[in-house]
Amino acid sequence: MTTKFIATLSSSGFSFNLYSDLVNMWQYDFMRHAFEAGTIVAVVAGVVGYFVVMRRLSFAAHALSHIGFAGAAGAVLVGLNPLSGLLLFTSGGGLTMAVLGRKASSRDVQIGTVLAFMLGLGVLFINLYKGYATEAYSLLFGEILGISSSDVIATLVAGLVIIFAIVVIFRRLLFTSLDEEVAEAKGISMMGMSIIFMLLLAVATSIAVQVVGVLLIFALMVTPAAIAQRIARRPSQGLTISICIALLATWFGLFISYYIPYPVSFFITTTVFVAYLLVRLFQSDLVHRPR
């Protein structure tokens, strides 16, 4: 298996010299754009995801991507850029979730009901669309290798807005995420913070869909942050770990998929999953080791 794997790599031009391999693949625009967009998305997903996990909103993040799917499919149907439909629907969905469901624990049923409906709506739009089925495929599973330079710029702008907003509200967001009651008693508006965060999450989800698609959003938005949460003793440490894992998985996925003709999102999801398993295994070993 391993021999066959290496043989496949070698026949595709893999040289074991990282520098020359990267220079080689970056001469293609689609690979450069993929690395650029992938890097921005990984950083944003790592940061936003850390708060998603802390606020126990991973199901909401998953649902937002499904809502975005309906928006993107609708945009494609009427001849607009899918990203605009994604942004519109995820923002609307995020705002509704923030206003309706105050307690994360009580949101599951409402969110699940809406996400199923939205996925159905997306399927209808895709069916009505007379174009190629690849549109639906790339929305569902991501199509990072098809990103244009204007997509990269849109992703960069959205990414910078999100990071800037998080830097501004960082301490309040952390307080309301870790200690809701005390934060509220100290005068921080829970509703206000929830609305701001859900909107940021909506935009982050929209740009992350380009890389991993709506069905695999967990890979970048939740799993790296979940690993960080299990390790980090300080929030700054958690953010760093979350960003690093998302980045490494994205880079590794892109790198390996250049040589092996399987979907990038498969390699990304597999990398973060393996990392998660390793952390769980390592921690259970530590816990059960006699002291």
Query: Residue 206 CB, nearest distance to other proteins (Å)?
Result: 24
Question: Taking CB under 8 A as the rule, does residue 49 contact other proteins?
Answer: no
Query: Residue 102 CB, nearest distance to other proteins (Å)?
Result: 13
Best CA proximity match to 250, nearest among 48, 58, 37: 37
The region, left, alpha or beta by phi > 0 then psi within -120 to 50, assigned to residue 281 is alpha
Choose the binding region for other proteins from 38-46, 88-96, 173-181, 209-217 (rule: CB under 8 A).
173-181
Query: Residue 103 CB, nearest distance to other proteins (Å)?
Result: 11
Residue choice 184, 248, 252, 273 for contact with other proteins (CB under 8 A): 184
- Residue 266's Cβ-side half-sphere holds a number of Cα atoms within 13 Å equal to 7
Binding characters for other proteins, 54-73, by CB under 8 A (x = yes): x-------------------
Footprint of other proteins on residues 207-266 (CB under 8 A)?
226, 229-236, 238
Query: Residue 230 CB, nearest distance to other proteins (Å)?
Result: 6
Q: How far apart are CA 54 and CA 236, in angstroms?
A: 13
Using the minimum distance from each CB to other proteins, give the nearer residue, 32 or 172.
172
Q: How far apart are CA 155 and CA 38, in angstroms?
A: 9
On whether the CB atoms of residues 104 and 56 are closer than 8 A, the answer is yes
Using the minimum distance from each CB to other proteins, give the nearer residue, 62 or 66.
62
Query: Residue 268 CB, nearest distance to other proteins (Å)?
Result: 23
Residue choice 179, 192, 262, 277 for contact with other proteins (CB under 8 A): 179
Query: Residue 263 CB, nearest distance to other proteins (Å)?
Result: 30
Residue choice 186, 262, 274, 281 for contact with other proteins (CB under 8 A): 186
Q: 139: how many CB neighbours lie within 10 A of its CB?
A: 27
Best CA proximity match to 49, nearest among 226, 188, 247, 245: 226
Contacting residues for 109 by C-beta, under 8 A, at least 6 apart: none
* Nearest-10 Cα torsion for 157, 162, 166, 169: 100
Please identify which residue in the block is written with the tokens 């990984």: 42
Query: Residue 63 CB, nearest distance to other proteins (Å)?
Result: 21
Is residue 47 helix, strand or coil? Answer: helix
Helix (H), strand (E) at residue 126: helix 108-128
Question: Taking CB under 8 A as the rule, does residue 169 contact other proteins?
Answer: yes
Choose the binding region for other proteins from 18-26, 30-38, 84-92, 170-178 (rule: CB under 8 A).
170-178
Binding stretches for other proteins (CB under 8 A): 54, 167-172, 174-176, 178-179, 181-188, 226, 229-236, 238
